[in-house]
A and B are shown apart, each in its own frame.
Chain A
Amino acid sequence: SSSTIMHDEL
């Protein structure tokens, strides 16, 4: 869903 922010770092 769009409610989640994408964290692309580990």
Chain B
Amino acid sequence: MNLFRILGDLSHLASILILIRTIKATDSIDGISFKTQALYVIIFFTRYLDLLTFQHISIYNSLMKLFFIGSSLYIVILLQRSKAIQPIAYREMIMADTFKVQYLLGGSLIMALLFNYKFSFFEILWSFSIWLESVAILPQLFMLSKSGKSKSLTIHYIFALGIYRTLYIPNWIWRYFVEGKVDKLAVISGIVQTLIYSDFFYIYYKKVIKGSNLQLP
């Protein structure tokens, strides 16, 4: 474990806590993409199936996996619960969430079948989750770009997620030089994902520094 990896994991953790805390504190789901959150549930469930094999890497690793599975499920439940509590806000969220996720799911499945470390059930699902994670934020970014307005909740959330993705790159560079280890699929999909976020970061930078309106291309 290196510093980049730990800080990356911690910012990933922070992004989830920011999301949960804000939903609970403000009682608002405004600006959140239900689809992106549902994709994360699929991602963590398909990637962390190895928990069932009891081949534990470390306590840290297993606890983090359980946290990501549990928290992603909890967020979807929180969003789903707002259907009864705030029917109008819920309806607005679903109406604004128009990104076609079936392309992301289908594309990730094709990538997983083509690129995997082994043509086995666990490995194909692992690869699927890696590709799906690289694009899972798109419905959220699409929603943000359509509304044209910046919601501080979603901005902080996406920002923390983007830091997590960015920190994984120096982590891989570190691992390559220090451990001589390269996870090719994780690196390639991670770069794709970081490029998606860098687009957001660029817009965010322009907005914060120059005070212009948030608009994603």
Give A residues with C-beta under 8 Å from B.
1, 3-10
B122 in contact (CB, < 8 A): yes
Q: Please report the C-alpha to C-alpha distance between residue A8 and residue B120 in the assembled complex, in whole angstroms.
A: 18
Q: Please report the C-alpha to C-alpha distance between residue A1 and residue B145 in the assembled complex, in whole angstroms.
A: 46
Q: Is the pair B57, A3 in contact by a Cβ cutoff of 8 Å?
A: no
Q: Is the pair B53, A1 in contact by a Cβ cutoff of 8 Å?
A: yes
CB neighbours of A8 from chain B (8 A)? 57, 61
B3 in contact (CB, < 8 A): no
Give the size range of B's interface with the partner.
20 to 34
A-B contact count, CB below 8 Å? 31
CB neighbours of A5 from chain B (8 A)? 117-118, 122-123, 126
Give the contacting residue for B126; candidates A3, A7, A10; CB below 8 A: A7
Q: Please report the C-alpha to C-alpha distance between residue A7 and residue B123 in the assembled complex, in whole angstroms.
A: 10
Q: Please report the C-alpha to C-alpha distance between residue A7 and residue B62 in the assembled complex, in whole angstroms.
A: 12
B35 in contact (CB, < 8 A): no
Q: Nearest Cβ in chain A — how far from B80, in angstroms?
A: 25
Q: Nearest Cβ in chain B — how far from A1, in angstroms?
A: 7
Q: Nearest Cβ in chain A — how far from B17, in angstroms?
A: 15
Most buried by B among A3, A4, A5, A9: A9
Q: Please report the C-alpha to C-alpha distance between residue A10 and residue B68 in the assembled complex, in whole angstroms.
A: 9
Q: Nearest Cβ in chain B — how far from A4, in angstroms?
A: 6
Among B172-217, those with CB < 8 Å from A are 183, 186
CB neighbours of A4 from chain B (8 A)? 50, 53, 55, 122
Q: Is the pair A9, B65 in contact by a Cβ cutoff of 8 Å?
A: no
